[in-house]
Chain A
Amino acid sequence: MSNLLSIADLSRKEIERFLDRAESFAEVSGREIKKVPTLRGRRVLNLFYEASTRTRSSFELAAKTLSAEVINFAASGSSVEKGESLKDTVQTMSAYDPAAIVIRHPHAGAAALVAGWTSAAVINAGDGKREHPTQALLDVYTLRRRLGALDGAKIWIVGDVMHSRVARSNIIAFQAMGAEVTVCGPPTLIPRGVEALGCSVAYSLDGVSDADVIYSLRMQNERMTESYIPSLREYARCFQIDGRRLTPRQILMHPGPVNRGVELSAEVIDSPQAVITEQVKAGVVVRMAVLYELLAGSGPSAITPDPSQPSVASERQPA
């Protein structure tokens, strides 16, 4: 594997390889000196065309923990504002010879396009409303730590499924790991034909008590002005996860940032069932694992060493 563009490209085995690698990095994160020399001398380019807090910072932390040099590129304040095309920006930045390009872009398929224009490993950090594969990996990682395995787990994804790349990647990833997925939200925010992805659809939270895991999605204010929903107040009444709806045996997840009082009530955010900060922590080790597997990983799916680069094998370090 030379790129990570979509969760749909990964088999269960491949997902598990990332998770196992992340487990081994969890120990590093617990050390006082959080650094290993694995990617010393290699460059990781963060190419962000959209605002991002946790994805960008966790990729940066992951790369730095592996001793890579990190270049952060944000579209605002850059040549993009002068009208440079994505292709030209990628080719320009590729001239700095990064080992990996981490890309976040407002449009679907951008990461795959970038992969065609560079020899660096490309990691999709969110392409439009399509996919967010590292989010799915860290969510599966977090759940596996809690549950041991996802097989047979009933997972409800609640909220604005239509506009959510997290929902798309997680529907695929959770099912690949053996879970049963139900998406739930108002019909205006459930995309047409979503059943084709293999999940069930519910338009109310009536059956949510059966769920082992509730994965709540961010509800954005603009959905109201676009009249997908009549009001946030009514939305909260129908779809908010609160102390009444969340049972003690359930796990509550959210990709952040949370709209307190909209999709989640304050009491559940701070409840023991919520694993939201564990998800954030997992973000670093899972992204370390992704960088490691793409840049230094071994086995048949490792990248072919570029003859112009020093051998990958000689830099490989025990994790």
Chain B
Amino acid sequence: MNRHLSFALQSLLVLGVLLTIWQSAVWMGVPHYMLPAPLAVASVVVERFPALVRSLWLTAEAAALGLLGSIVVGVAIALAFAQWRALRRLLFPYTILLQTVPIVAIAPLILMWAGNGLFSVALVAFIICLPPIIANTTQGLISVEENFLHLFLMHEATPAQVLFQLRLPHALPNLFTGIRIAAGIAVIGAITGELFAGSSRVGEGGLGYSILYASGQLETDYLFALVLAATVLGFAFFFVTMFLEWYFLHHWHESNRPDLPD
């Protein structure tokens, strides 16, 4: 416990030093529109808190929708890949291809096809979340040891039983690795989508839209506040996933063994 406390104090100390340097730089004459002071950022956060939260919430919604969609669709695809080897060999390379497509380049296309709005933004998040979910889950589903398959065979298990009672639980740790990767990029995907999505009302939209708008207006202090909000959102996604992973795996999985040294 003491160790954790001193670690936290050290981290806070580093943060304090960085903020002091930053604030001093502004006092020494860096122009406000280039680099707003931390205190200015703090005051704009307080001042425009409702708008900030609204943007944050819109982006969170889109990112969460995209992430959930990618989990559902990704697991379904991975199950199909595990069940039909021919299908996997035929289509698996394309999921890798999907991963290498620069999202910034296809986001405008998606918005052109699907129209503006929550759905399209979530779709952008969905598309970049999908490959890590498929790749990791498929890996887990097909890497079951032969002895386990023989065990199920000896008990005359049906293909569905092998898939859902052996392969799927075996792949859970891999699925959560995929979700952890996807959660990080879901927020990035949603923000990227919003950069192109525009808004129905001037000055209001998700974080991505607000970032564009604030930069157009040279509201650098609000821009910083939005970046801060995006970081907070990314962290929130990460921690929720970590919690879910712990919740589902800590009973049995080796990665959560209590008696392992740090």
Determine if chain A interacts with chain B: no
A residues apposed to B, CB below 8 Å: none
B residues apposed to A, CB below 8 Å: none
